[in-house]
Chain A
Amino acid sequence: MQTVIGAFSDIEGGSINGSNSFPGFTGSEKESSTWAVGGRAGVLVTPRFLTYFDGGFTQARFGGVNYNFAFAGGGASGLSLAAQTYNGWFLGSGFEYAFDWLPISGLFLKTEYRYSQYGGNNGVSVPITGAVAGIPAAGVALNSQKATQFISTELVWRFNWFGRY
């Protein structure tokens, strides 16, 4: 059974919108981009079908948060959280398929599931800034640990530079 090992880097951009709240306050938070660098190892189940595992380092960019009061009709509280980049790691698994029904050689389709975790064991503390009713939020921070699960499909064009054959 033939094995394939490799190294790669990728970048993801989007608007993965969610919420960020703590007692009394609520806001919306958006994951806007991630990038990753890592390695993979796989086996060719058939000459045209590869299954693999991968893993590596990743960073994720989350936008800033403006908190509202968490009661019906509650407006802006005056508190906010700055945009932040978080460091983490990822593990994934996927499969890749060589297809030849286009008159271009070296085309593959790849689908991957990836789990990423950001913030380490202790989380990352980001200062909450602003003031509520004139009382500044000095010394107040939000500690968070973030995890993502992505499923993606890619069209790959392999031009065989530095290949084995």
Chain B
Amino acid sequence: MALPLGSASAADLPMPAPAYRVPPPIPVYNWTGCYVGGGGGYGMWTQNSFVTFNGTPITASQSNGGNGWFGQGQVGCDY
């Protein structure tokens, strides 16, 4: 049996370097830990009220309310 020394085969041909692409990083969002926040919003309040005299209601219940803007600040921690 002849040794393969000196014989050429297709496997000996220089191969082009394999095309290699760095995969795009998978974004990781870390939802845990502590945070600070700031913002604002819009709110409304309503109330049901009646007048009492020495603890006894003397008027029917009234419904009132209002609305407006507010600012907000927050701290918290998530796990």
- Whether the pair A100, B27 counts as a contact (CB closer than 8 A) is yes
- Whether B39 pairs with A154 at a CB distance below 8 angstroms is yes
Q: At the interface with chain A, which of B4-12, B14-22, B58-66?
A: B58-66
Is B57 engaged at the interface, CB distance under 8 Å to the other chain? yes
Known: A110-B37, A151-B41. A141 touches B51 (CB 8 A): yes
How distant is A153 from chain B, measured CB to nearest CB, in Å?
5
B38: chain A residues at CB < 8 Å are: 154-155
Question: By the criterion of a CB under 8 Å from any partner CB, how many residues of chain A are at the interface?
Answer: 66
How many residue pairs bridge A and B at CB < 8 Å? 208
Known A16-B45, A48-B27, A154-B39; judge A4-B68 contact (CB<8 A). Answer: no
Given contacts A9-B75, A14-B70, contact A165 B30 (CB under 8 A): yes
C-alpha gap A44/B36 in the complex (Å): 20
Q: Are A16 and B68 in contact (CB under 8 A)?
A: yes
B15 CB → nearest A CB, Å: 38
Q: Are A8 and B32 in contact (CB under 8 A)?
A: no
| Interface residues of B, dominant DSSP | strand
- Check A14–B33 contact: CB distance below 8 A: no
Q: Among B30, B36, B69, which residue has its beta carbon within 8 angstroms of that of A156?
A: B36
Shortest B76–chain A CB gap in Å is: 3
List of B residues within 8 angstroms of A157 by Cβ:
35-37
Asked if residues B45 and A154 are in contact (CB atoms below 8 Å), the reply is no
B79 to chain A, nearest CB (A): 6
A-B contact pairs, 18 of them (CB 8 A): A8-B77, A16-B67, A18-B65, A18-B67, A22-B50, A22-B62, A47-B29, A50-B31, A100-B27, A110-B39, A123-B48, A141-B51, A145-B48, A155-B37, A155-B39, A164-B32, A164-B79, A165-B32
Which 10 residue pairs spanning A and B have beta carbons closest together?
Answer: A18-B66, A8-B76, A14-B70, A152-B41, A163-B33, A154-B39, A6-B78, A160-B33, A10-B74, A16-B68
- B residues neighboring A (CB under 8 Å): 27-55, 57, 59-60, 62, 64-79
Chain A interface (Cβ within 8 Å of chain B)? Answer: 2, 4-23, 29-31, 34, 40, 44, 47-48, 50, 60, 98, 100, 106, 108, 110, 123, 125, 128, 139-165
